[in-house]
Amino acid sequence: MAPLGLEAANGRGFPGLPPQERARSCPYTALSSVCTLVCSQPERLGAVQPKPDDYSFDLDHALTSVVGIKSMVPADAFTAETLGTERAGNGVLIRGGEGLVLTIGYLVTEAETVWISRGSGSAVPGHVLGYDQETGFGLVQALARLDLPSLPLGTSKVAEVGERVVIGGVGGRQHSVAARIIAKQEFAGYWEYVLDEALFTAPAHPNWGGTAVIGPAGDLIGVGSLQIQQAGAQRRLEDVNMIVPIDLLKPIFGDLLTIGRANRPPRPWLGIYATEVGSNVAILGLANRGPAERADLRAGDIVLRVGGNSVNDLAGLFRRVWALGQAGVEVPLLINREGKTFELRVRSGDRRSFLKGPVLH
């Protein structure tokens, strides 16, 4: 299958970006890969909701494992300006006896308060155990019994394009989508994020953040991260969901449980938001107080090279930066600014060091 023509998700803070380049986590807010919102009642999905007779597993039992996540983040948190101070989405119980809930990390990054809600609407407090920036997974622990079944982990690498899946939201079938995997391919996000192989599903779930992607065996094969768009028939843009594959969790799961992060050297982080413009990569914006801002990189700059290597796309830019070493390494960039070309050096940072840690661990 030919690669999808995916529109990069760009959000608030970048005026002038076309609406199709924004992603949202709830129907009330359009914000890159995040949600800044208080979601009250998720959209009812009508014709696209899954039907139990279409699946060989107990659909309603599996969907009972999906929970709601609400978090509050301090106003002075590093991510508050871009991700907001009130965030809401979904999660999935993966170890019922321990109350472990897997979600997408942007929902709980820097959260000081987390609530986990059942499909019935009742809620228990939780706290953030860990967040992995490279994959995007977040792990939350319930601080009271949820009394729900857990969803077993499946294997995403065996999932095939065309395969039927359920995108499960909290609240059961009425808040879930019968979908298919339409592609497995690389994904690069403008916020210094790359997955070698993400899953893409359609039709899209309108409240995608942290949704459980349930495979044909009734197990968890991924977690919902984004809504983006692809060019469909007659060049119309069609909504699809980008899914983080569950296989990426398995090597780091023990680390998230014990130390709250993956036990590997942190990647160099520049604090840039970038996009592809033809065969070039342009800076859309800069993280406040981040390394690139301190080095006087500016919105509108074109990145031509990292070190001696040319840059033609987002994934190439980020991988060339990461190949230079660990966080703290100096990153030499060749920049074109308003027709003038010059070298600029950025002392990279560890993104995690800019974030508030969990209140409890």
Q: What is the pLDDT of residue 39?
A: 33
Q: Are residues 160 and 280 in the same domain?
A: no
**Any domain includes 343:** yes
Asked if the structure places residue 282 within a domain, the reply is yes
Return the residue matching tokens 């359009």.
30
Instruction: Please give the Cα distance from 299 to 301 (Å, whole number).
Output: 6
Do residue 226 and residue 304 come from a single domain? no
pLDDT digit of tens for each residue in the chain (361 aa)? Answer: 445 655 444 322 332 232 222 322 222 222 233 332 323 334 456 679 999 999 999 999 999 999 999 999 999 999 999 899 999 999 999 999 999 999 999 999 999 999 999 998 899 999 999 999 999 999 999 999 999 999 999 999 999 999 999 999 999 999 999 999 999 999 999 999 999 999 999 999 999 999 999 999 999 999 999 999 887 666 788 899 999 999 999 999 999 999 999 999 999 999 999 999 999 999 999 999 999 999 999 999 999 999 999 999 999 999 999 999 999 999 999 999 999 999 999 999 999 999 987 654 4
Domain count across the chain: 2
Is residue 259 located within the same domain as residue 277? Answer: no
Model confidence pTM above 0.95: no
pLDDT value of residue 1: 40
Residue 311 burial by CB count (10 A; 0-12/13-18/19+): exposed, middle or buried? buried
Q: Is the domain of 165 the same as that of 186?
A: yes
The closest of 173, 166, 169 to 26, measured between CA atoms, is: 169
Q: What is the pLDDT of residue 237?
A: 86
Place of tokens 């959260």: 111
CATH number for 326: 2.30.42.10
315 lies in some domain: yes
The per-residue pLDDT for 31 is: 29
Indicate whether 160 and 203 sit together in one domain.
Answer: yes
**245 shares a domain with 137:** yes
Strand blocks (E) in the chain:
6-7, 66-72, 86-95, 100-104, 113-117, 123-131, 137-142, 164-168, 177-189, 193-202, 212-214, 220-231, 237-245, 272-277, 280-286, 302-306, 309-310, 330-337, 340-347
Q: Which of 199, 229, 264 is the last residue of a domain?
A: 264
pLDDT at 14: 31
Looking up residue 148, the CATH number of its domain turns out to be 2.40.10.120
What is the DSSP pairing of strand 123-131 with strand 137-142?
antiparallel
* Domain end (from 248, 264, 280): 264
109 lies in which domain range?
1-264
With respect to residue 109, please indicate whether it lies within any of the assigned structural domains: yes
- Whether 4 and 49 map to the same domain: the answer is yes
Q: How far apart are CA 238 and CA 179, in angstroms?
A: 14
**Pair 288, 295: CB distance under 8 Å:** no
Task: Using the 3D structure, point to which of 239, 264, 289 is the last residue of a domain.
Answer: 264
Closest CA to 87 of 159, 26, 30: 26
Q: Is residue 25 part of a domain?
A: yes
Specify whether 172 is located in the same domain as 299.
Answer: no
Q: Is residue 359 part of a domain?
A: no
